[in-house]
Structure 1
Amino acid sequence: MPHIRPWDPSLTSSLAGVGPGPSARDRRLALRAALAGAAARPVRRLRPLVLPGATDALGARLVEEAGFTAVYATGAGLANAGYGLPDLGLISQTEVADHAGRLCEAVRIPLVCDADTGYGGPLAAMRTVRLLERAGVAGLQLEDQEAPKRCGHFDAHTLIPPGHMQTKIAAACEARADDALVIIARTDARSAHGIDEAIGRGRAYVEAGADVLFIEAPRTVDELALVGRELAGTPLVVNVVEGGKTPQLTLAEYAELGFGVVLFANYLMRSMHLAGREALAHLREHGETASRADRMVSWSERQSLFNLPAFSAAETALDQELGKIK
């Protein structure tokens, strides 16, 4: 029986989180299309995918509004902003899946989710894939640290054996109900064992089925260049951590070195952190906010980001008998 919809489809088409939107598979295919230019040879043809991180639906909306192709659900950012905890592997599998689902609902662009170690061995990683797949993510990242994991720009990492990580990646690929779901393999071997070990693990992880490689925390431009040369042909992630261990370069410089995905996992959170600190200092000192109105978004800008006008129009139109809706 055909679906009865007497109203103009434009009434609900823009209601992210409530109205219709692109399917999870469509977003996964969009992410794969974006990644297609992230491993081009020669590198002058490489088109980097800039991947800003978000800690919540507000951040994800801002990333989408700014015109980026995809958004990254940062694990460190979730621990910091969502729970007030450091990035030490303290957030659980189901907490991350629930969080990822909210972000996917808030935007129409693909979402890549930091899934830490998969929260256990191969079977746990398989369940993680299923949970995140149902949440709507377009891609997910698994890393080879022992649990509990640590931020890649901290010290004292311990890793599982490379063969065990290969099994985990293969199991994660097997668990996919949708083969368009992107699996990103991250190694922290540079910190624990050196850059050669990191490159060797990268090769092994691609053999196991990883779609994208994330070699965490190269220390120098020469190390970045070595990774780009040795692992050419697979999309490579460089993680830009302001004040971290990897050199901060331009997009063009990263592309020239062979990196097709440039991740800014916590740039937005840290920028909002400083802005919030300054706003609260002003409030405490002056006891008012009117003189700082030009340092915050306007009331209408805030409502526009969350699409209040379209929701209000749909609410008015739909709050009546079906046959009377125009």
Structure 2
Amino acid sequence: MADPRLRQALEAKDFILAPGVFDLISALIADRQDFKALYVTGYGTVASYLGLPDAGLATYRDMIERIGQIVKMTKTPVIADADTGYGGLLNVRHTVRGYEDAGVTAIQIEDQEFPKKCGHTPNRRVIPLEDMVRKVKVASDARSSRDFLIVARTDSRTSLGLDEAIRRADAYREAGADVVFVESPESEEEMKTVAERIQAPLFANMVNGGRTPLLSADRLKELGYAIAIHPALGFLSVGAALDKSFKDLKVNGITSPDIDLYSFAEFNKLLGFEDVWEFERRFAEI
């Protein structure tokens, strides 16, 4: 069941800042931080599960099992990437129903051709506007609760220009999207233009090292955005930490004091070992 807090935050114009999570460790840690939402990144999930690029290689089944487990193990509303809806209109309906049944609160669907690519990489192509409008209408019709939000993304800025991206975003809003997402604007001025010309809750994608400038939550709210995700922060942080730690071990043959580690005791607590130990105390004599 979708969490009504996300829709309520949108309606109250409370800015929603969401870190990107890509596995259960990242999700459990983020869930402790009192964010208004968590964002399940397709790029990070595909990388952590398959070790492959975000290039349309993961299937609906690959994603729904991992997303469902993240939702089950966390308390924060989840926004989840669903790529192109994993196919045509019937696939979109199936995906929306599956994500909603899994407890996702907002689904993100984009207008790229299949196979899709990460929105901050080159050579992305989009489907005709009319085809995506039909996908948005199907997605809106397929949900069972108004608390389940449709985020419609257009990747047309890179190949077709900002005016076309804004035209598409307006059309997707009219078709039933609750939130619209113009992917990879290339300057703060472009982001400002998007916010001035689109009358809908807006979604900003803050990718470290991506095509769009990184702006603070305060600045994004000032410009008129409603939601900002930081999808790459988690997996880039983990990648850097692992690279440093493993190199340190190789050089020194032991973990040196230079390596900052999560406390083993705290990690046990994070994973719920205290409940296991309490269970064993209660039932060990039975």
When the two structures are superposed, what TM-score results if normalisation uses the length of structure 2?
A: 0.95
What is the DSSP-based 3-state SS (H/G/I as helix, E as strand, rest coil) of the residue aligned with 2:257?
A: helix
- Counterparts of 1:185-264 in structure 2, within 5 Å, are 185-232=152-199, 234-264=200-230
**Alignment partner of 1:159 out of 120, 126, 129:** 126
> Does 2:1 correspond to 1:35?
no
- Counterparts of 1:48-67 in structure 2, within 5 Å, are 48-67=15-34
Unpaired segments ≥5 residues, structure 2: none
| CA RMSD across the alignment | 1.6
Q: Deviations over 1:163-215 (max 9, x none)?
A: 11111111111111223211100000101200000101011001110001111
8 Å CA contact retained: 1:74, 1:113? yes
- Counterparts of 1:26-105 in structure 2, within 5 Å, are 27=3, 29-38=4-13, 47-105=14-72
Q: Distance in 2 between matches of 1:177 and 1:253?
A: 35
Q: Distance in 1 between matches of 2:281 and 2:144?
A: 39
Unpaired segments ≥5 residues, structure 1: 1-23, 39-46, 322-326
Partner AA of 1:150 in structure 2? K
Larger Rg: 1
Identity of aligned residues (%): 36
> Does 2:243 correspond to 1:277?
yes
Structure 2 match to 1:135: 102
Q: Distance in 1 between matches of 2:192 and 2:263?
A: 45
Q: Distance in 1 between matches of 2:83 and 2:27?
A: 20
> Does 2:240 correspond to 1:265?
no
Instruction: Give, in angstroms, the shift of residue 75 of structure 1.
Output: 0.3
8 Å CA contact retained: 1:37, 1:260? no
Structure 2 match to 1:108: 75
Q: Distance in 2 between matches of 1:311 and 1:68?
A: 27
8 Å CA contact retained: 2:245, 2:259? no
Instruction: Give, in angstroms, the shift of residue 102 of structure 1.
Output: 0.9
8 Å CA contact retained: 1:185, 1:205? yes
What is the DSSP-based 3-state SS (H/G/I as helix, E as strand, rest coil) of the residue aligned with 2:204?
A: strand
What is the DSSP-based 3-state SS (H/G/I as helix, E as strand, rest coil) of the residue aligned with 2:57?
A: coil
Instruction: Give, in angstroms, the shift of residue 37 of structure 1.
Output: 3.6
Instruction: Give, in angstroms, the shift of residue 318 of structure 1.
Output: 6.3
8 Å CA contact retained: 2:100, 2:143? yes
Q: Distance in 1 between matches of 2:259 and 2:162?
A: 47
- Counterparts of 1:115-130 in structure 2, within 5 Å, are 115-130=82-97
Instruction: Give, in angstroms, the shift of residue 319 of structure 1.
Output: 7.0
**Alignment partner of 1:296 out of 261, 266, 273:** 261
Instruction: Give, in angstroms, the shift of residue 78 of structure 1.
Output: 1.1
Q: Distance in 1 between matches of 2:198 and 2:259?
A: 48
Q: Deviations over 1:74-118 (max 9, x none)?
A: 001112122110111100011111111110111011111100000
Partner AA of 1:253 in structure 2? R
Q: Distance in 2 between matches of 1:32 and 1:240?
A: 21
Structure 2 match to 1:324: none
Instruction: State the aligned residue count.
Output: 286
Instruction: Give, in angstroms, the shift of residue 310 of structure 1.
Output: 3.1
**Alignment partner of 1:313 out of 254, 275, 278:** 278
Q: Deviations over 1:280-307 (max 9, x none)?
A: 0011111112x33861112211111123
Partner AA of 1:120 in structure 2? G
What is the DSSP-based 3-state SS (H/G/I as helix, E as strand, rest coil) of the residue aligned with 2:242?
A: helix
Instruction: Give, in angstroms, the shift of residue 276 of structure 1.
Output: 0.5
8 Å CA contact retained: 1:153, 1:245? yes
